[in-house]
Amino acid sequence: MAKIILASHGGLSSGMLDSVKMIVGELAADVETYSLLPGRNPNEYVNELKERISTSLEEFIIVCDIKGGSVYNALIQLLDMDNVEIISGMNMNIILELVIKNSSGCIDVDNALKEGKEGIQLKNKDNIVVNTEDEDF
Amino acid sequence: MLVGLRVDHRLLHGQVAFSWTSALGADCILIANTAVTNDNLRKTAIKMAKPAGTKLVIKNIEDSIKALNSGVTDKYKLFIIVESVKDAYELMTKADIHSVTLGGTKATNETKNISKAVNLTDEEISLVKELIERGDEVEIRMVPTDKKMLAKNVL
Contact B18 A96 (CB under 8 A): yes
Domain annotation covers residue A68 = yes
Domain range for residue A66? 3-117
Burial class (CB in 10 A: 0-12, 13-18, 19+), A16: buried
- pLDDT band at residue B147 under the 50/70/90 scheme: confident
Question: A11-39: per-residue pLDDT in tens?
Answer: 999 999 999 998 888 889 999 999 999 99
Domain annotation covers residue A113 = yes
Distance between CA atoms of residues A78 and A30, nearest Å: 21
- Substitution target in B22, B73, B141 with the highest count of A β-carbons within 10 Å is B22
The complex scores an ipTM of 0.70
B 52-71 near A (Cβ less than 8 A): 55-58, 67
**Is the Cβ–Cβ distance between A25 and A1 less than 8 Å?**
no
Contact A132 B40 (CB under 8 A): yes
Segment B136-154 mean pLDDT: 91
Domain annotation covers residue A7 = yes
Sequence-separated contacts (24+) of A51-56 with Cβ below 8 Å: A53/A78, A53/A81, A53/A83, A53/A84, A54/A81, A56/A3, A56/A83
Domain annotation covers residue A128 = no
Domain range for residue B14? 2-153
Round the average pLDDT of chain B to a whole number and report it: 93
| pLDDT attached to residue A73 | 96
Number of separate domains in chain A: 1
Residues contacting A70, CB < 8 A, separation 6+: A9, A36, A42
Whether the predicted model's global pTM rises above the 0.90 cut: no
Question: B6-48: per-residue pLDDT in tens?
Answer: 999 999 887 778 789 988 999 999 999 999 999 988 898 899 8
| Largest distance between two CA atoms of chain A | 59
Number of separate domains in chain B: 1
Segment A59-69 mean pLDDT: 97
Contact B19 A23 (CB under 8 A): yes
Distance between CA atoms of residues A111 and B27, nearest Å: 20
A98 to chain B: closest CA residue: B18
Domain annotation covers residue A69 = yes
* A23 has a chain B CB within 8 A of its CB: yes
- Does residue A95 register a pLDDT over 90? yes
Beta-carbon neighbour count of residue A8 at 10 Å? Answer: 22
- CATH code of the domain containing A87: 3.40.50.510
| pLDDT attached to residue B116 | 82
Stated as kind and residue range, the H or E segment containing B132 is helix B122-133
- pLDDT band at residue B146 under the 50/70/90 scheme: confident
Domain annotation covers residue A55 = yes
Q: Which among A23, A135, A136 is the nearest to B15, CB-wise?
A: A23
* B18 has a chain A CB within 8 A of its CB: yes
| pLDDT attached to residue B151 | 93
- CATH code of the domain containing B75: 3.40.35.10
